[in-house]
Amino acid sequence: MSDKTQTEASSIVTAEGADGLPPELRSKMALALDVDDLVQALRLARQLSPWFGVAKVGLELYSAAGPDAVGALIDNGFEVFLDLKLHDIPTTVNKAATVCGALGASYVTFHAHGGAAMLRAGVEGLYAGAQNAELERPSAIGITVLTSDVDAPDHIVPNRLRVAVEAGCDGIVCAADDLKSIRELAPRTLRVVPGIRSEGAERHDQPRAVTPVTALENGADLLVVGRAVTLAEDPATAAAELFADVSA
């Protein structure tokens, strides 16, 4: 991280006195920091820390700040969900995953569309990178079908789930609609659900979005929340309202 970024980040004050979630629930909530500026991302993360224990770094923020984004969020007390959806030939994915494993992220995503050989190479690289850096083993997460894809045939999710599990992935990303079948097919698999929204809220490009309570009741292990709070006029108030029923 640059000296300038370190100075700006250190001036950001964590939300104090906010009624958030208990630790066991905060650890299930990932804040999607889909912005192109690290200082803005840190400001949002710190402001919303009473509700989120995990920070998701996607392509936008990673393209803007690179590995510094991961390190800065870890330094601020968050687990990091590195959502790069790695998808390439096995050798390339293996090498990229090895680098990701050494960054300290707790979760790293791979697109299951890449097939078993690619996923297996990615998992091996991810674990090796963490081991070489003397870090705890991160979780390899397979992407099944994007929540914006409403036309995917019914067989796609179970097929990609099978491939991900056979390749050694620890978990998968799926829509809430798929949770029941995934629990039945792979009960030990970590289940990550994006597109979380309040009832009746704007869904943006997440047509399969659900509320936090619905996702948790259906067996989600980690919820990803982004624009529902980050685009709000008052993000902290939006988070408090979104999780009101969860924390009750």
What is the set of active-site residues?
85
Q: Which residues make beta-bridge pairs with 57?
A: 82
Instruction: Tell me which residue has tokens 């970590």.
Output: 190
Distance, in Å, from the CA atom of 128 to the CA atom of 136, rounded to the nearest integer, reads 11
Q: Are 172 and 112 in contact (CB under 8 A)?
A: yes
What tokens does 21 get? 């979630």
Q: Are 147 and 207 in contact (CB under 8 A)?
A: yes
Residue 88 C-alpha from the chain's centroid: 20
DSSP-based three-state secondary structure for 139? strand
Tell me the C-alpha to C-alpha distance, in Å, between residue 135 and each of 99, 104, 128, 158: 12, 7, 10, 32
Q: Are 225 and 44 in contact (CB under 8 A)?
A: no
Between 38-47 and 67-75, two packed helices, what is the crossing angle to 10 degrees? 30
Rg (alpha carbons) of the chain, rounded to whole number:
17
Distance, in Å, from the CA atom of 196 to the CA atom of 144, rounded to the nearest integer, reads 17
